[in-house]
Amino acid sequence: MNKLFSYKKVVVYSALASLLLSVTALAATLPGRGSYPTGNATSPKPRLQDVKLKACQARENAIKNRSTHLADMAKNMEDKFGSIAKRVEDYYQNTVVPSGKTVADYDALVADIQTKKTAVETALTKAQNDFAGFSCASGDPKGAMAQFRKDMQSVKQVLKDYRMSIKNLIAAVHSVTGKENKENTNIPTPANQGGSAR
C-alpha cells in the first residue's frame, strides 16, 4: 500500500507541475501579466501581428478585387471621356468648320485635352503598378493600401481635370454654334407671318 500511495503522489505532483507550467506560460503571453525580461515590453506584439496578418489574409482577395475594379472603372471613365472628346472634335471638323464658323483657341483646347488625358493615363498606371504586388505577407500591407488610396485620389482629381477640359471644348464649340442658332430664330415661319393657317 505504501508503493501505491507513493505512486499516486508522483502522479498528483506531476499533474500539478504541468498545470503550474501551463498557467505560467499563459500568464507570460498576456499583456501586462507575467514577467517579461527587462526592456522587452513588446513580447505580446508578434502574437498580435499574427492575428492581424490572418485577418488581412482572409480579406486579401476581396481587397485585390476591389482595387482591380476601381482601376477598371477609372479606365472605363477615361475611355468614355476620350470618346466624347473625339465626337466633339469630329463635329467641329465636319460640321462647324465647313459652315464657316471657327473657335479661336480650338488648338489650345484640344492640346489641353490631350495633356489631361496623358496625366490620367500616367496616374492610373502608377496606381496599378503600386498595388500590383500587394500581399499581406509583404513588409507593410497597411502602407500599400494607404499608397493605393492616395494614388486613386490622384486619379480621381486628374479625371475631373480631364472632364473639365472636355467641357471647355464643348462650351467653346457650342458658343460658336449657339450664336448661329440664335440668329436663325428671327427667321419668320408661316405661323408668325399672319393670316390663317388651315
Residue identified by cell 471613365 is 77
Q: Above 50 in pLDDT, residue 29?
A: no
Question: For the segment 137-167, what is each residue's pLDDT rounded down to a tens digit?
Answer: 777 777 888 888 898 899 899 999 999 999 9
In whole angstroms, give the CA distance from residue 113 to residue 172. 13
Residue identified by cell 485620389 is 153
Q: Cell numbers of 51, please?
A: 492575428
Local structure of 189: helix, strand or coil: coil
Looking at the chain, the whole-number percentage of residues with pLDDT higher than 90 is 32
Q: Above 50 in pLDDT, residue 104?
A: yes
So what's the pLDDT on residue 14? 57
More confident residue, 75 or 31: 75
Q: Cell numbers of 147, please?
A: 499608397
Confidence band, pLDDT 50/70/90 cuts, at residue 198? very low
Confidence band, pLDDT 50/70/90 cuts, at residue 13? low
116-132: average pLDDT: 89
pTM metric for this prediction: 0.62
Task: Mean pLDDT check: name the lowest of 3-7, 65-69, 178-182.
Answer: 3-7
For the chain, give the DSSP string: -HHHHHHHHHHHHHHHHHHHHHHHHHHHHSTT-S-PPTT-TTTTHHHHHHHHHHHHHHHHHHHHHHHHHHHHHHHHHHHHHHHHHHHHHHHIIIIITTTT---TTHHHHHHHHHHHHHHHHHHHHHHHHHHHT--TTSS-HHHHHHHHHHHHHHHHHHHHHHHHHHHHHHHHHHHHHHHHHHHHTTS--TTTSSS---
